[in-house]
């Protein structure tokens, strides 16, 4: 929900040398199709805002051209794209807003397809200390696309969001499992540094790198920043309600909540608390959708609100008795941080990543213990809930993670990484713009990784 700050940092320097960040924003160009962003989209937005605030001499924005190589984007086009996306994310994916964002993205990709940006990327690679920063997982599974930039002298620093397709393959589509394995192989072979969103993600990554026989590069654990919009005031709800925020997919464990609410319907009828589901419908979720679409007992008690804009999401969260987060696996847990930042209690799965985010504040439960979830929800629904009051008291000691602290860790890592790279005069010159191959127009429809 909540992008990086528009006021940029001081210039990032290594001694008397400046670091030149080459930031891939391919995912932002492709996410315009969905209307509402994923958590990774939001991270890439925060990084784009951070480095757009830097002088042009210190940062370059790139994207993959349709057949895989990278090329630089004009800064004015990048700023136009970011403004358009932020408006759409804040206010909701209205057709006019989506068409505008899609038009900007298509124009940018079209310019790259016609050969633009290759010379500008060459200039960026000639900078004293270039770092290729890959914040999304786009292209991370294809080392051959990244290797030319590294051979040209750029240090390579990817961001790892989670290892869930490898640790919990039952919740991923088979192609995604294979793709994630290739991403780890790329990190093992090419990464000069790694950013992880949590210690839990890093702890999971390290054994996978060891299997490749790779030495561990410098790493930074940098929790994601939170900047919540001011909630739009809503009328007080007639009944207490809870919010579950996230893509509707098996890993998020919506099925547990829907079975609990079906039990509430039988036992309590219309006196039961309400459940609001925020998030798009994902994949391999037939059992969940059967309950949402075909279970009469849930009608009037469970509302599927889809993907409204950030302001409406913040308003719905702010009025809830609690966030319910019964996920089976997480790399970070952005909804938990967002809820706590609004002062909203949370009942969530007892996972290492969620404990990192929430500390001692939330009530943590086993995601398989339906009876415990049922008791907690009924307790929190009561006006004088002792468990809810206790969590609100604990919340006084919790501080939301900020982007400034995040980027302080990232920039310290980049300084460490470039300290080990060769100066420009001694680097091999492997980057040369090449003739563009023939490519059909439909190649502009590349899907993000």
35 pLDDT band, cuts 50/70/90, is: confident
261 vs 138, which has greater pLDDT?
261
Do the domains spanning 13-226+402-425 and 241-397 agree at the CATH topology level?
A: yes
Q: What average pLDDT is seen over the chain?
A: 88
Within a 10 A sphere around the Cβ of 55, how many other Cβ atoms? 9
Strand ranges in 103-167 using DSSP code E only, listed in sequence order: 129-134, 155-160
Say what the pLDDT of residue 143 is: 94
Rounded Cα gap, residues 10 and 19, in angstroms: 12
Say what the pLDDT of residue 444 is: 31
- Look up tokens 């039952």; give the residue: 170
pLDDT tens digits, residue range 43-53? Answer: 999 999 999 99
Q: Which helix (H) or strand (E) holds 121?
A: helix 118-125
pLDDT at 158 over 70: yes
**What are all long-range contacts of 166-171, with beta carbons under 8 Å and residues at least 24 apart?**
166/208, 167/204, 167/329, 168/251, 168/328, 168/329, 170/250, 171/249, 171/250, 171/251, 171/328, 171/329
Q: Which of 3-17, 57-71, 215-229, 315-329 has the lowest mean pLDDT?
A: 3-17
Q: Are 346 and 323 in contact (CB under 8 A)?
A: yes
- Look up tokens 């090329």; give the residue: 71
Closest CA to 195 of 421, 407, 418: 407
- DSSP helix/strand/coil, 331: coil
**C-alpha torsion sign, points 388, 402, 348, 309:** positive
Mean pLDDT of 152-163: 96
pLDDT tens digits, residue range 401-414? Answer: 999 999 999 999 99
442 pLDDT band, cuts 50/70/90, is: very low
**In the chain, where the domains are located:** 13-226+402-425, 241-397
**C-alpha torsion sign, points 182, 186, 187, 193:** negative
Within a 10 A sphere around the Cβ of 384, how many other Cβ atoms? 6
Say what the pLDDT of residue 69 is: 86
pLDDT tens digits, residue range 143-156? Answer: 999 999 999 999 99
Say what the pLDDT of residue 341 is: 95
Q: Are 333 and 353 in contact (CB under 8 A)?
A: yes
Structure tokens at 50: 């951070």
- Look up tokens 């929790």; give the residue: 223
Rounded Cα gap, residues 374 and 147, in angstroms: 51
Say what the pLDDT of residue 417 is: 94
Which residues have CB under 8 Å from 283's CB, separation 6+?
173, 249
Domain 241-397 has CATH 3.40.50.2000: yes
Q: Are 232 and 315 in contact (CB under 8 A)?
A: yes
pLDDT tens digits, residue range 353-410? Answer: 999 999 999 999 999 999 999 999 999 999 999 999 999 999 999 999 999 999 999 9
Share of the chain above pLDDT 70, in %: 89
pLDDT tens digits, residue range 58-73? Answer: 999 999 986 778 999 9
pLDDT tens digits, residue range 276-299? Answer: 999 999 888 888 999 999 999 999
Mutual angle of helices 75-91 and 39-52, in 10-degree steps: 140
CA distances from 282 to 173, 202, 246, 252, 312 (A): 11, 26, 10, 10, 21
pLDDT tens digits, residue range 188-223? Answer: 999 999 999 999 999 999 999 999 998 899 999 999
pLDDT at 4 over 90: no
Which CATH topology does 13-226+402-425 take? Rossmann fold (3.40.50)
Rounded Cα gap, residues 388 and 258, in angstroms: 22
Q: In the chain, what are the helix, strand and coil shares in percent, each to the nearest 5?
A: 50, 15, 35
pLDDT at 6 over 70: no
Say what the pLDDT of residue 433 is: 38
pLDDT tens digits, residue range 404-440? Answer: 999 999 999 999 999 875 443 333 334 343 333 333 3
Within a 10 A sphere around the Cβ of 307, how many other Cβ atoms? 18
Distance of CA 317 to the CA centre of its chain: 19
Angle at 230 between CA 345 and CA 353, to 5 degrees: 40
Q: What is the dihedral of CA 114, 443, 40, 189, to 10 degrees?
A: -80
Say what the pLDDT of residue 421 is: 56
Say what the pLDDT of residue 29 is: 92
């Amino acid at each position: 929900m909540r992008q990086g700050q528009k006021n940029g940092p001081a210039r990032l320097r290594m001694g008397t040398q400046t670091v030149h960040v080459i930031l891939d924003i391919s995912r932002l160009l492709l996410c315009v199709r969905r209307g509402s962003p994923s958590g990774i989209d939001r991270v890439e937005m925060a990084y784009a805002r951070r480095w757009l605030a830097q002088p042009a001499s210190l940062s370059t924005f790139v994207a993959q051209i349709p057949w895989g190589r990278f090329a630089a984007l004009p800064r004015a086009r990048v700023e136009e794209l970011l403004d358009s996306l932020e408006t759409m994310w804040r206010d909701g994916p209205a057709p006019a807003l989506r068409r505008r964002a899609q038009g900007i993205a298509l124009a940018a990709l079209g310019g790259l397809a016609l050969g633009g940006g290759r010379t500008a990327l060459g200039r960026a690679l000639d900078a004293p200390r270039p770092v290729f920063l890959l914040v999304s997982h786009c292209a991370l599974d294809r080392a051959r696309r990244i290797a030319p930039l590294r051979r040209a002298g750029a240090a390579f620093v990817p961001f790892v969001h989670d290892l869930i397709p490898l640790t919990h393959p039952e919740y991923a589509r088979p192609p995604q499992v294979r793709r994630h394995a290739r991403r780890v192989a790329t990190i093992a072979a090419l990464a000069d540094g790694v950013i992880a969103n949590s210690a839990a993600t890093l702890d999971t990554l390290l054994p996978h790198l060891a299997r490749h026989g790779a030495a561990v590069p410098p790493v930074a654990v940098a929790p994601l920043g939170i900047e919540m919009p001011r909630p739009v005031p809503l009328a007080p709800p007639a009944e207490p309600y809870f919010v579950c925020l996230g893509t509707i997919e098996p890993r998020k464990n919506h099925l547990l909540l829907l079975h609990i609410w079906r039990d509430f319907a039988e036992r309590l009828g219309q006196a039961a608390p309400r459940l609001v589901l925020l998030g798009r419908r994902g994949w391999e979720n037939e059992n969940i959708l059967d309950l949402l679409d075909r279970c009469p007992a849930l009608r009037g008690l469970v509302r599927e609100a889809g993907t409204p804009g950030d302001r409406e999401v913040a308003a719905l969260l702010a009025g809830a008795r609690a966030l319910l987060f019964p996920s089976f696996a997480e790399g970070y847990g952005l909804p938990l941080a967002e809820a706590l930042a609004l002062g909203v209690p949370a009942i969530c799965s007892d996972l290492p990543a969620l404990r990192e985010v929430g500390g001692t504040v939330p009530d943590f439960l086993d995601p398989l213990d339906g009876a415990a979830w049922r008791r907690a929800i009924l307790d929190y629904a009561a006006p004088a809930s002792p468990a809810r009051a206790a969590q609100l008291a604990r919340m006084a000691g919790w501080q939301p993670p900020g982007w400034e602290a995040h980027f302080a860790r990232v920039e310290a890592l980049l300084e460490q990484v470039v300290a080990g790279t060769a100066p420009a005069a001694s680097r091999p010159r492997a980057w040369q713009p090449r003739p563009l191959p023939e490519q059909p127009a439909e190649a502009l429809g590349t899907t993000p990784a």
